[in-house]
């Protein structure tokens, strides 16, 4: 009887393991964010909702939803995610305009930025736009890159799409987020190798337009004035930034710990959202600040390494966009908290209380994890062979099957 031996030129299944350091950095940032919510929001939770752990339980509930999103975007093949990228972008724009409607739209501090279903859910569509923009541009740059190189007019399609996405956020009276989204989109154009000359006139128009928008809205003008002349606005628009700097200074090198010393943070309005890092700096001091920056650096470095080494162009551009978005948000928030930038309202990823931000951040991380183990042609990482590709040969009484 002949002996049958199977030889494979390449593994039938070429599975690539996800980047462990990136995954660890995500879990650590996520855990530190929940811990910071616990130690910094007990006083404000008791004062506003008569529940010291209100913001903690809320963050944990949103974390559960975000974990589902992370697993979903990490497990679903990237080619399947690509197919719904345009629908995702269109849905995010529609939801932004839903926030302007009186029935389902919800306004806070005069800004209509939330879609609210009573007794069920409140969601901020602008957070969804950030992720949608990344997937939308990644899809177009991958699918039509050759067309953009041959005909620069085709380049206008993603440019107009980016303007619509940023404009939908601007319609919600959210200038800072719309400018950030537009800037990140331009960076994705540059990274993809697309010509960016069309943005030159747009950028020249953007600066005077932004200045006009700031000058015509009193609260935006006060933010700029209080940034440059903080001593003149210590009890009004500049109070939050000054209180944040006092809290950071109180932390010193080693921090005051997680005990009663954090009661001083109650002087910072809305500490649970945009200024949550001031609470972390107070509790952990300069050592804690450097520890966070080190962890964020590992997150960005490993994420960018995934983007550079990913053989699938859509996944690579998407991973770059997701990591870059989280990094820019983090640095802008830290600049505001430390008083080196005007107040923007941009939350700190993983840390700020707010379900929309946390859920979308975890979904982005899931996509980066997906990119770390996807394949160039088949994102599942497996190679399938047709029966017609199998060759049979016999040699010295044994049958060899070559794949």
Q: What is the mean pLDDT of residues 199-215?
A: 81
Residue 386's pLDDT is: 37
pLDDT at 308: 94
Positive or negative torsion for Cα 312, 363, 186, 89: positive
Rg (CA), the chain: 25
Condensed to tens digits (0 to 9), the pLDDT of residues 108-131 reads 767 788 888 776 678 899 999 999
Closest to 235 (Cα-Cα) out of 269, 209, 189? 269
C-alpha to C-alpha distance for 379 and 20, rounded to whole angstroms: 19
pLDDT-derived band at 273 (thresholds 50, 70, 90) equals: confident
Range scoring the smallest mean pLDDT among 207-216, 296-305, 386-395: 386-395
Asked if pLDDT for residue 134 goes beyond 80, the answer is: yes
Which of 327, 320, 373, 304 lies closest to 141 in space, CA to CA? Answer: 320
Q: CA 58 → CA 31, 172, 358, distances in Å?
A: 14, 25, 11
pLDDT digits (tens, 9 = 90+) for 69-113: 999 999 999 989 999 999 999 999 999 998 888 878 877 767 788
> Read out DSSP for 285-343?
HHHHHHHHHHHHHHHHHHHHHHHHH-S-HHHHHHHHHHHHHHHHHHHHHHHHHTTSS--
CA 400 to CA 44: how far, in whole Å?
73
C-alpha to C-alpha distances, 94 to 97, 99, 125, nearest whole angstrom: 5, 9, 9
pLDDT > 90: what percent of the chain?
A: 45
Mean pLDDT of 175-203: 85
Mean pLDDT, residues 183-200 taken together? 83
Q: What is the pTM of this model?
A: 0.87
At 379, the pLDDT band (50, 70, 90 cuts) reads: very low
The string of pLDDT tens digits covering residues 286-332 is: 999 999 999 999 999 999 999 999 999 999 999 999 999 999 999 99
- Say what the pLDDT of residue 259 is: 64
**DSSP annotation of 1:** -
Residues 6 or more apart from 32 whose CB is under 8 A from it? 280, 292, 295, 350, 351
Categorize the per-residue pLDDT at 11 as very low, low, confident or very high, splitting at 50, 70 and 90: very low
**Mean pLDDT of all residues belonging to the chain:** 83
C-alpha to C-alpha distances, 163 to 129, 166, 184, 186, nearest whole angstrom: 12, 5, 12, 10
Residue 240 has pLDDT above 70, yes or no: yes
Kindly state the tokens that stand for 188.
């994705």
**Residue 326 burial by CB count (10 A; 0-12/13-18/19+): exposed, middle or buried?**
buried
């Amino acid at each position: 009887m002949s002996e049958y031996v199977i030889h494979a030129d390449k593994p039938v299944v070429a599975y690539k393991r996800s980047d462990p350091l990136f995954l660890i950095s995500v879990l650590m940032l996520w855990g530190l964010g929940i811990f910071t919510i616990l130690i910094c929001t007990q006083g404000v939770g008791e004062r506003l909702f008569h529940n010291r752990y209100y913001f903690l339980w809320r963050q944990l509930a949103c974390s559960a939803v975000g974990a589902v999103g992370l697993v979903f975007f990490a497990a679903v093949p990237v080619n399947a995610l690509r197919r719904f990228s345009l629908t995702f972008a269109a849905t995010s724009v529609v939801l932004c305009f839903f926030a302007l409607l009186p029935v389902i739209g919800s306004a806070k501090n005069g800004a209509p930025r939330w879609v609210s279903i009573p007794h069920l859910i409140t969601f901020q569509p602008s957070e969804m736009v950030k992720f949608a923009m990344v997937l939308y541009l990644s899809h177009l740059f991958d699918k039509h890159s050759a067309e953009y190189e041959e005909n620069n007019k085709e380049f206008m399609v993603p440019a107009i799409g980016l303007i619509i996405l940023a404009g939908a956020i601007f319609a919600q009276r959210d200038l800072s987020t719309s400018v950030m989204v537009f800037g990140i989109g331009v960076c994705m154009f540059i990274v993809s190798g697309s010509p960016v000359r069309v943005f030159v006139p747009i950028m020249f128009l953007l600066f005077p337009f932004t200045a006009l928008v700031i000058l015509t809205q009193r609260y935006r003008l006060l933010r700029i004035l209080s940034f440059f002349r903080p001593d003149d606005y210590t009890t009004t628009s500049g109070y939050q930034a000054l209180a944040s700097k006092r809290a950071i200074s109180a932390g010193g090198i080693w921090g005051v710990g997680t005990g009663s010393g954090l009661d001083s943070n109650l002087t910072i309005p809305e500490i649970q959202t945009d200024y949550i890092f001031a609470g972390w700096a107070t509790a952990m001091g300069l050592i804690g600040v450097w520890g966070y920056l080190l962890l964020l650096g590992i997150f960005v470095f490993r994420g960018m390494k995934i983007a550079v080494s990913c053989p699938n162009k859509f996944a690579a551009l998407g991973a770059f966009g997701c990591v870059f978005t989280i990094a820019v948000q983090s640095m802008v928030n830290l600049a505001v908290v430390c008083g080196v930038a005007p107040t923007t309202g941009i939350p700190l990823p993983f840390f700020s209380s707010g379900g929309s931000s946390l859920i979308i951040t975890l979904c982005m991380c899931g996509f980066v994890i997906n990119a770390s183990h996807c394949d160039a042609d088949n994102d599942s990482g497996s190679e399938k062979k047709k029966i017609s590709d199998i060759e049979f040969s016999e040699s010295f009484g044994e049958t060899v099957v070559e794949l």
